[in-house]
Amino acid sequence: AKDYELRQYETAKWVSTVIRGETQKEAMRQGFWKLFHYIQGKNEKEMKIDMTVPVTCLIKSGCSDFKISFFVPFEHQDSPPQPTNSDVFIEERKAAAIFVRSFGGFASPEKYAEEAEALARILRNRGQPFHEDFFYTAGYDSPFKLFNRHNEVWYFKK
């Protein structure tokens, strides 16, 4: 569709952390640094791992916990090094069909919420069943990239 796409994602491992009781913006900042330290070698193998995109954040309705995640690079999918920080963990996300809405610019929590609401409205209007109680934000760019930025919101298809 012109205002969203439906993607099929395969089962994959992500390195994640949950930040509780902070604003989304502060949770993203704290979560990013915990995960960044992991890829910089704060893991059992003291291995540096390439930064990947997207950086995702799980947003659940009425919940102040935010799960921030980095995709584990393909070459480490089979056996990613275990984190040494107890707040950081490896998770396997099952294969899923995901509705995606893309947008540009610098994405604020408010902009992500606005785009997620727009996507939810479109999906409801088209009779597309999806899990409405949570969505993911996905950021693809370094904070230093100023132009042609790419952001997404994801709802999982039912």
Tens digits of residue pLDDT in 26-59:
999 999 999 999 999 999 999 999 999 999 999 9
Q: What is the mean pLDDT of residues 80-103?
A: 98
Domain CATH code at residue 43: 3.20.80.10
- C-alpha–C-alpha distance, residues 39 and 52, integer Å: 10
Question: What would the pLDDT profile of 55-77 be if each residue is shown by its tens digit?
Answer: 999 999 989 999 999 999 999 99
Average pLDDT, the chain: 96
What confidence category does residue 100 fall into, taking pLDDT thresholds of 50, 70 and 90? very high
Q: What is the mean pLDDT of residues 142-147?
A: 90
What is the number of domains present in the chain? 1
> What is the β-pairing status of strands 96-103 and 55-60?
unpaired
Q: Are 52 and 13 in contact (CB under 8 A)?
A: no
Range of the domain at 141: 5-156
